[in-house]
Structure 1
Amino acid sequence: MKKIIVITQRIEYIDKYSEIRESLDSSYLILLRACGYIPIVISYTSNIAEVMNKFKVDGVVLSGGNDLNTCNKNKSSALRDNFEDKLISYCIDNGIPILGICRGLQVIANYFGSTFTSVKNQVAIKHQLLVNPKSYYYENLVKLKKVNSYHNYGVKELSVDLFSSAYSEEGIIKAIEHRKYKIFAQMWHPEREVPLKKSQINIIKSFFG
Structure 2
Amino acid sequence: MKLVAVSQRRVSGREERDCLDRAWPEFLAACGLVCAPAPGAPRLLDAWLERLRPQAVLLTGGNAAPGTGQDDVCPERDAVERALILWAGENRLPLLGVCRGAQMLNHFHGGALRPLPGHVATRHGLASGEGAPALPADANSYHHYGLLPDDLGAGLRALALAPDGSVELFAHAALPQAGMLWHPERQAPFRQEDMALVRAFLEVTP
The alignment's TM-score, normalised by the length of structure 2, stands at 0.91
Structure 1 unmatched ranges of 5 or more: none
From 53, 64, 75, give the equivalent of 1:56.
53
- Asked whether the equivalents of residues 162 and 168 of structure 2 are also in contact (C-alpha less than 8 Å), the reply is yes
Residue type of the partner of 2:139?
A: V
Q: Deviations over 1:133-178 (max 9, x none)?
A: 313xx1x22xx01110000001241123101111101001111100
Structure 1 stretch 26-35 or stretch 78-87: which is displaced more?
78-87
Runs of 4+ in 1 over 4 A off after TM superposition: 73-76
* Structure-2 residue corresponding to 1:205: 199
Shift of 1:76: 4.4
Contact 2:109 2:153 (8 Å CA) reproduced: yes
| Structure 2 unaligned blocks of 5 or more | none
Q: Give the Å deviation of 1:73.
A: 5.1
Counterpart of 1:45 in structure 2 is: 41
Give the number of equivalent residue pairs. Answer: 200
Question: Is residue 153 from structure 1 mapped to residue 145 from structure 2 by the alignment?
Answer: yes
Match of 1:87 among 79, 84, 88: 84
8 Å CA contact 1:68, 1:78 repeated in 2: no
The match for 2:111 among 111, 114, 137 is: 114
Q: Distance in 1 between matches of 2:46 and 2:92?
A: 13
Q: What letter matches 2:12 in structure 1? A: Y
Corresponding position of 1:192:
186
CA distance in 1: counterparts of 2:52 and 2:66, whole angstroms: 30
Superposition TM-score, scaled by structure 1 size: 0.90
Displacement of 1:205 in angstroms is: 1.4
Q: 1:52 Cα shift?
A: 2.3
Partner in structure 1 of residue 24 of structure 2: 28
CA shift, 1:77, in A, is: 2.0
CA distance in structure 1 between the partners assigned to 2:16 and 2:67 by the alignment: 20
Among candidates 170, 192, 204, match of residue 164 of structure 2: 170
Q: Tell me the equivalent position of 1:9.
A: 8
- Alpha carbons 1:8, 1:42 under 8 Å: kept: yes
In 2, Cα distance between equivalents of 1:152 and 1:206: 27
What is the match of residue 71 of structure 1? 68
Query: How far apart in 1 are the matches of 2:158 and 2:33?
Result: 27
Partner in structure 2 of residue 97 of structure 1: 94
1:72, CA displacement in angstroms? 2.5
Aligned-residue offset at 1:121: 0.8
Mapped partners of 1:193, 1:75: distance in 2: 25
